[in-house]
């Protein structure tokens, strides 16, 4: 067996070009603009997350001495103070007619991409609600590129409790990175929480590497290494509603006919969505049966 050697990313522009060409495949994002300038602040890559309808700012770093916290919040602050410019850029580049309220500003985030980060930069992201992500990128001789997110280590505090920076305080009033616990505690009753934990255990038996991704209103499950949501789990008073994204009932073997197509899904969310209710633990095995089909469908598409 011949090993594949890694090689350094020599130019930020090369990394930017590769990333922008594969934004949808790697991160599930849509490119809005390259080298976008707003109020004398240049943004390497401006993208939009179609799942949350929120802006994502991507920066490519070589400087290991700069603060990712200060830089990240500076970008977010400029964006929140110049919303009209971002909306206009998105509408012009993508041919859309978005208004300010169509964007979920609370889920905006900044992604820093680099070959490596300093110990100081890595330690700076250990906050549970930080809307800043660090991604290490490795290029290989066979033209493969690996993006790996650096996760915060251990239990982390809130950035709000430790920072007295006015800019950070201002941004965190509007932008929030949601955790799984946030959604469970804010939206789930005792019964719904129990149903969720049991369903999650079953889903992770399908693939333990599935990524739990909390959003503002629901918890989604993403394909590992693909970053596309395959299902969304919504909490109701005493039940769960599981949404199968980019899917119609005809795509499944559903002998009990439990999947319901959401008639306005394509109009409102630009994708087909089908749903199933979980009212009791007896519904979990059947729902898992459908989720396995959804997983297999996405896995097949990803391998094409």
How far apart (Å, rounded) are the C-alpha atoms in residues 263 and 102? 20
Q: Let me know whether 109 and 214 are in one domain.
A: no
Per-residue pLDDT at 189: 80
Q: Let me know whether 117 and 44 are in one domain.
A: yes
* Reported pTM: 0.81
* Closest of 178, 160, 177, 161 to residue 169, by C-alpha: 160
Q: Let me know whether 161 and 282 are in one domain.
A: no
Per-residue pLDDT at 142: 62
Give the structural domain span for 12.
Answer: 6-172
Q: Let me know whether 243 and 278 are in one domain.
A: yes
Whether residue 64 is contained in a domain is answered as: yes
Could you tell me which residues come within 8 angstroms of residue 249 by beta carbon, excluding any fewer than 6 positions away?
259, 260, 261, 274
C-alpha pair distances (Å), 26 with each of 42, 95, 101, 145, 226: 23, 23, 28, 10, 6
Instruction: List the pLDDT tens digit at each of the 304 positions of the chain.
Output: 444 555 555 567 888 998 999 898 888 899 999 999 987 889 999 999 988 899 999 999 877 777 898 899 999 999 999 999 999 999 999 999 999 999 999 999 999 999 889 888 888 888 877 899 999 998 876 667 888 888 876 556 777 766 677 888 888 889 988 888 889 988 888 899 999 999 999 999 999 989 898 988 899 998 876 677 899 999 998 999 999 999 999 999 999 999 999 999 887 777 899 999 999 999 999 999 999 999 999 887 765 5
Token pair 């490119």 in the structure block, residue: 31
Number of domains in the chain: 2
Q: Let me know whether 16 and 140 are in one domain.
A: yes
Q: Let me know whether 83 and 228 are in one domain.
A: no
Per-residue pLDDT at 61: 83
Per-residue pLDDT at 231: 95
Per-residue pLDDT at 2: 45
Q: Let me know whether 48 and 153 are in one domain.
A: yes
CB burial string 145-183: b at 16+ within 10 A, e below: eebeebebeeeeeebeeeeeeeebeebbeebbbbeeebb
DSSP codes, 201-262: HHHHHH-TTPEEEE-SS-EEEE-TTT--EEEEEEE-SS-EEEEEET--GGGS--TT---EE-
Assign residue 270 a region: left if phi > 0, alpha if psi is -120 to 50, beta otherwise?
left
CATH of the domain at 257: 3.90.1150
Q: Let me know whether 263 and 154 are in one domain.
A: no
* Closest of 122, 139, 132 to residue 17, by C-alpha: 139
Of 154, 172, 190, the last residue of a domain is 172
CATH of the domain at 36: 3.40.1350.10
Q: Which two tokens stand for residue 242?
A: 């599981």
Whether residue 1 is contained in a domain is answered as: no
Could you tell me which residues come within 8 angstroms of residue 214 by beta carbon, excluding any fewer than 6 positions away?
178, 179, 180, 182, 183, 220
Per-residue pLDDT at 154: 53
How far apart (Å, rounded) are the C-alpha atoms in residues 26 and 226? 6
């Amino acid at each position: 067996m011949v090993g594949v050697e890694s090689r350094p990313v020599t130019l930020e522009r090369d990394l930017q070009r590769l990333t922008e060409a594969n934004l949808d495949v790697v991160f599930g994002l849509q490119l809005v603009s390259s080298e976008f300038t707003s109020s004398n602040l240049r943004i390497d890559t401006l993208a939009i997350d179609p799942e949350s309808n929120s802006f994502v700012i991507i920066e490519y770093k070589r400087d290991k001495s700069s603060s990712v916290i200060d830089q990240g919040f500076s970008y977010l602050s400029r964006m929140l103070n110049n919303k009209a410019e971002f909306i206009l850029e998105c509408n012009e580049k993508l041919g859309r007619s978005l208004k300010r309220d169509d964007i979920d500003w609370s889920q905006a985030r900044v992604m820093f991409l680099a070959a490596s980060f300093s110990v100081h930069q890595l330690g700076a992201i250990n906050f549970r609600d930080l809307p800043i992500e660090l991604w290490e990128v490795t290029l290989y001789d066979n033209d493969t590129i690996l993006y790996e997110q650096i996760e915060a280590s251990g239990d982390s505090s809130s950035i709000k409790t430790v920072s007295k920076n006015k800019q950070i305080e201002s941004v965190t009033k509007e932008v929030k990175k949601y955790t799984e616990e946030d959604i469970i505690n804010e939206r789930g009753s005792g019964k719904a929480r129990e149903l969720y934990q049991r369903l999650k255990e079953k889903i992770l038996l399908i693939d333990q590497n599935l990524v739990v991704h909390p959003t503002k209103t629901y918890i989604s499950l993403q394909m590992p290494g693909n970053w596309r949501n395959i299902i969304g789990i919504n909490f109701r008073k005493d039940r769960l509603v599981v949404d199968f994204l980019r899917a119609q009932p005809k795509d499944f073997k559903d002998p009990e006919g439990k999947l319901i197509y959401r008639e306005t899904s394509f109009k409102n969310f630009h994708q087909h969505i089908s749903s199933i209710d979980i009212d009791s633990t007896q519904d979990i095995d059947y729902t898992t049966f459908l989720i396995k089909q959804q997983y297999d469908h996405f896995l097949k598409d990803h391998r094409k």
